[in-house]
Amino acid sequence: MQKEHFPTVQNEPKYALVTGASRGIGRAIAERLAKEGFHLYLTCSQSANLLLPFAKDLADRYAISCVPFIADMGNCTDVERIFQQIPSLSVLVNNAGISYIGLLHEMTTADWQNIMRTNLDAVFYTSRLAIPLMLHDHAGKIINISSVWGNVGASMETAYSASKGGVNSFTKALAKELAPSGIQVNAIACGMIDTDMNQCFTDEDIEALRQEIPADRIGQSAEVAEMVVSLLHAPDYLTGQVIGLDGGWI
């Protein structure tokens, strides 16, 4: 008889790592995974004042373990330090990211490298260390939080678009490499989501963008978190996909 390939509910503890979880989309994903009963490892670059109380609050409210790390995910040594404390991992959510808006010919090399190391190198560093833990269980999910600009590109956001385009190709390639090992790799290409990342836009800018979006509104972090949970419950046959979550925008 053919083996069923639908996800099964198991009683053993499940561990998830969410990068960039002090605020915005990462914070919403952490909250939603806590609600699902995952034990959590959470990171952010420097907002200990936000991440530490949040991790304690999740641990108390959901009766889970929740370990916060202040670390630069674009720094290989920092990522290795985190994984030294992770013995088991079912889910990796690569969410940490930064944006840069400006003309490409005015961009410094340092700014270009900062975007690439934060948005793309970090996904390599974490995945490289998560994969052996997942291979051990012949199961695991890697979910990359990407952007519609990684698919179609945005004016004034060439570096950001290139980094997210890299994440999208990374997702498709790694999914092929890991499918035989029972590990699924997918990405969520977000449209405009209401977070501090978009603080640089004026109310007028945001209103103009809203008018372009068929759903007639900006997306919410909680909707991205819901999409992450949907991917966790999806059949294992779903892998290598870059799923748009943009209100029909792109």
Among 30, 31, 39, 43, binds ligand NAD (CB under 6 A): 43
| Interface with ligand NAD, residue 165, by CB under 6 A | no
When asked if residue 184 is in the footprint of ligand NAD (CB under 6 A), the reply is no
3-state SS class at 121: helix
Give the Å distances, CA to CA, from 131 to 10, 15, 16, 97, 184. 20, 14, 13, 21, 11
Amino acid of residue 17: L
Please tell me whether residue 241 binds ligand NAD under the rule CB under 6 A: no
Task: Work out how close the CB of 187 gets to ligand NAD at its nearest, in angstroms, rounded to a whole number.
Answer: 10
Q: Which is nearer to ligand NAD, 22 or 186 (CB)?
A: 22
243 is an interface residue for ligand NAD by CB under 6 A: no
Q: Does 168 bind ligand NAD (CB under 6 A)?
A: no
Closer residue to ligand NAD (CB): 139 or 213: 213
- Verify binding: residue 171, ligand NAD, rule CB under 6 A: no
For residue 199, report the phi and psi dihedrals to the nearest 5 degrees: -60, -25
Residue from 14, 16, 22, 55 in contact with ligand NAD (CB under 6 A): 22
Binding-site member from 16, 31, 45, 247 for ligand NAD (CB under 6 A): 45
51, amino acid identity: L
How many CB atoms within 10 Å of residue 59? 17
- Considering the complex, state which of residue 143 and residue 183 has its C-beta at the smaller distance from ligand NAD: 143
Q: Which residues, 145 to 164, sit near ligand NAD by CB under 6 A?
A: 145, 147
Backbone angles phi, psi at 111, to 5 degrees: -65, -40
Distance CA 229, CA 234 (A): 9
Integer Cα distance of 199 and 23 in angstroms = 13
Residue with smaller CB distance to ligand NAD, 14 or 117: 117
190 to each of 6, 56, 110, how far by Cα in Å?
Answer: 26, 28, 26
Residue 25 found at the interface with ligand NAD (CB under 6 A):
yes
User: Binding to ligand NAD by residue 68, rule CB under 6 A?
Assistant: no
Residues 193-212 that bind ligand NAD (CB under 6 A): 193, 195-198
Residues in the chain: 250
Edge-to-edge strand order for the sheet containing 183-190? 66-70, 39-44, 15-18, 91-94, 140-147, 183-190, 242-245
Q: Is 186 in the site for ligand NAD (CB under 6 A)?
A: no
Contact call for residue 47 and ligand NAD (CB under 6 A):
yes
- Asked if 96 interacts with ligand NAD (CB under 6 A), we say yes
Annotated catalytic residues are 160
Query: How many CA atoms are closer than 13 Å to the CA of 147, on its beta-carbon side?
Result: 26
Residues that bind ligand NAD (CB under 6 A): 19-26, 43-45, 47, 72-74, 95-98, 118, 145, 147, 190, 192-193, 195-198
